[in-house]
A and B are shown apart, each in its own frame.
Chain A
Amino acid sequence: MALFAADGFDATSIRAIAERCGLSNPAVYYYFPSKADLLNALWSATNARSLRNLPVKRPLTVARVAELTAAMLDASAEQDELVRLMVRQVLAGDQTAAALRNQTMSYWRRYLLPHFLGSFSAADAELRVQSVTMVVLGATFLAQMDHPTDYPAFCRSAVFRQHVEAMVCVATGLNRNGEQL
C-alpha cells in the first residue's frame, strides 16, 4: 500500500515489492511470473476477503438484498484508504490502477448476480445488479467525499446503512411493503 501510494501502480516494480516483503526476487517471480499476476492475485484476495459470502436464496427477499448491501458497505468501510488511492491513481492516468478497478467492479457483479438469477431472467438480473452496484458506488463516493477522515465509522453507522439499503430497494424495483421484487 505504502509503495503504491508513493509511486502508483504502474511505476512500482516487483523488486520494490519483494524488498518490502523481505522476499527475494526469484521467490516472488516463482509464484508470480509477472507484476500483473502479482497484482491480480493481491487484488482478488483483497476482494474475496472483504466481501462476505452469502448463500443464494430463492426467491430473493428484501432482507437478503439488505444483507448484500450491508456486506458491500462493510467492504467499503474496510477498504476506504485503498479505494481513495485507487481513485486518485486512476484519475492520474495509472493504467494498472484502472485495470484493477475494473476487476473490482466485475467482482461485485459476480458477487451479486447469482442472487438475482435465482429470481429473475438473465437480462432482468443484470439490470438489477448494475442498479445496485451504481447506487452503492454513488452513495459510498458521496459519503467518502463528505467524510474525509471518518468514513469507516460513518459507513458503519445505522443511519447510513438504512439509507443505502432503502435506496437499493427502490432502485431494484421493490415496492414499499417489500413484498415483491
Chain B
Amino acid sequence: MTRTASSGVHKQASHQTREAILEAARELFARKGYAGTTVRAIAARLELTDPAIYYHFHSKRNLWENVLDSASVQAPALPAESDPEEVTDWLIDFFFAYVEQAGLVRMLLREQFGSDPPSRAFRERSLGTYHVAAIGLLRTTYGERARPILDALTCLLSGIIWDGVLAYGDAFTDVARQPAFKARVRDLVRLTLGTSCGQTEH
C-alpha cells in the first residue's frame, strides 16, 4: 500500500515538474524563439539542473514539440441558431481565442518563416479544427458559398492576427481588446459574409 501511495505521490510531483517545465519553456520560446532558448536557461529559470529537464524531455526539439502539442485554441461553442449574426459572433469569438494567444502566434510566426515542421503541424492542426467547426456552420447558412467564404475568412482573420502581431508584438492582445478594433473586425467579417448594410455607391 505504502509503495503504491508513494509512487502515486512521486508520479504527481513528476507530473507537476513536467508541467512547470512546459510552462517555463513556453514563456522562453515565446520571448526568444526556438534558436534563442537553451535547455540550460529553462532549467535555471526553475532552479533545476539540465538532467532534470532531460529526464522529462529527451531534447530541446522534443520540448518544443510538446509545448506546441499542449497549446491549443479552444473553439467556442457552436450557436443554437445559425443566422448570419450568430455566425458572425461565433467567428469573432474564435478569432479572439487566437488573439489571446498572441505570444504563441508570434513565436510560431518566427519559427514558421523558418519552415519548422512541428510549427507547421501545429498550424495545420489549428486551422483544421477551425475549418471543421466553421464549415458546418457556414453551410447551414450559406450553402454552396460556404467554401469560398471560409477560405476568404481564413486568410482575412489570419492576416489580421499576423499583421497585428508584427505591428504591436505581444501588446497586440491589448490593442485587439479595444472596442474600435473589435468593431472593425466585425465589419470586415460581415463584409465577407455579405451581410453588411449601408454600402454607399456613387
Q: Is the CB of A119 within 8 A of B201?
A: yes
Q: Is the CB of B113 within 8 A of A59?
A: no
Smallest beta-carbon distance A111→chain B, Å: 16
B27 at the interface (CB under 8 A from A): no
Q: Is the CB of B156 within 8 A of A135?
A: yes
Which residues from A are CB-within-8-Å of B112?
A: 145
Kindly state the separation between the CA atoms of A164 and B148 in the bound complex, as whole angstroms.
10
Which residues from B are CB-within-8-Å of A121?
A: 200
Q: Is the CB of B115 within 8 A of A145?
A: yes
Contact of B159 among A58, A59, A137, A145 (CB under 8 A): A137
Which residues from A are CB-within-8-Å of B92?
A: none
- Residue tally, chain A, CB below 8 Å to B: 46
A130 at the interface (CB under 8 A from B): yes
Helix, strand, loop or mixed for chain B's interface?
Answer: helix
Instruction: Pick out which of these stretches binds chain B: A7-15, A36-44, A45-53, A98-106.
Output: A98-106
Which residues from B are CB-within-8-Å of A171?
A: 152, 155-156, 188, 191-192
On whether A98 and B120 interact (CB within 8 A), knowing A128-B191, A138-B159, the answer reads: no
Which residues from B are CB-within-8-Å of A28?
A: none
Residue of A nearest to B187 (CB): A127
Q: Is the CB of B191 within 8 A of A138?
A: no
Which residues from A are CB-within-8-Å of B163?
A: 105, 133-134, 137
B157 at the interface (CB under 8 A from A): yes
Contact of A133 among B110, B159, B200 (CB under 8 A): B159
Provide a sorted-by-A list of 7 A–B residue pairs whose CB atoms are within 8 angstroms: A59-B202, A88-B110, A137-B163, A138-B157, A138-B159, A138-B160, A173-B191
Q: Which B residues contact A (CB, under 8 angstroms)?
A: 33, 106, 109-110, 112-115, 120, 123, 145, 148-149, 151-152, 154-160, 162-163, 166-167, 184, 187-188, 191-192, 194, 196, 198-202
Q: Which A residues contact B (CB, under 8 angstroms)?
A: 58-59, 84, 87-88, 90-92, 98, 101-102, 105, 118-121, 124, 127-128, 130-131, 133-139, 141-142, 144-146, 148, 163-164, 166-168, 170-173, 175-176, 181
